[in-house]
Amino acid sequence: MTAEAVATESPCAMMRREAKSSREDIERRRKAISHLRSEIIRLQGQADPDQKAIAALQQRLASLEEQLQQEELSLDTLEQVISENC
């Protein structure tokens, strides 16, 4: 978006654009979480699973899930503001 377009964008339009961007980010994070879960399951199914690798992936998974929860909460708040003010 150009600087001129941002300068003339209404607050409601800006919030809607941010909400759309947040929904897209949340969807990407959900896909990353799903991929990570699949990878953990694949590693656990091996004859001699690498426990350190699994533990590292599980730690990353927990971090992503926490970030997702925060993003969903922020989006919910933004959507409430939009519905009340726009």
- In this structure, what CATH number is given to the domain that contains residue 22? 1.20.120
What's the structural domain count of the chain?
1
Q: Is 72 contained in some domain?
A: yes
What is the C-alpha separation between 71 and 25, in angstroms, rounded?
A: 8
- CA–CA dist 44, 38 (Å, integer): 10
Residue 2 lies in a domain: no
Cβ atoms within 10 Å, residue 18: 14
Can you give the pTM of this predicted structure? 0.80
Q: Which domain holds residue 81?
A: 10-85
**Quick check: is 44 in a domain?**
yes
Per residue in 40-86, pLDDT (tens digit) is 999 999 999 999 999 999 999 999 999 999 999 999 999 999 999 99
What is the per-residue pLDDT across 18-38, written as a single tens digit (0 to 9) for each?
999 999 999 999 999 999 999
Provide the CB-side half-sphere exposure for 81 (13 A, CA): 14
Residue 4 lies in a domain: no
3 belongs to a structural domain: no
Domain-located, residue 77:
yes
1 belongs to a structural domain: no
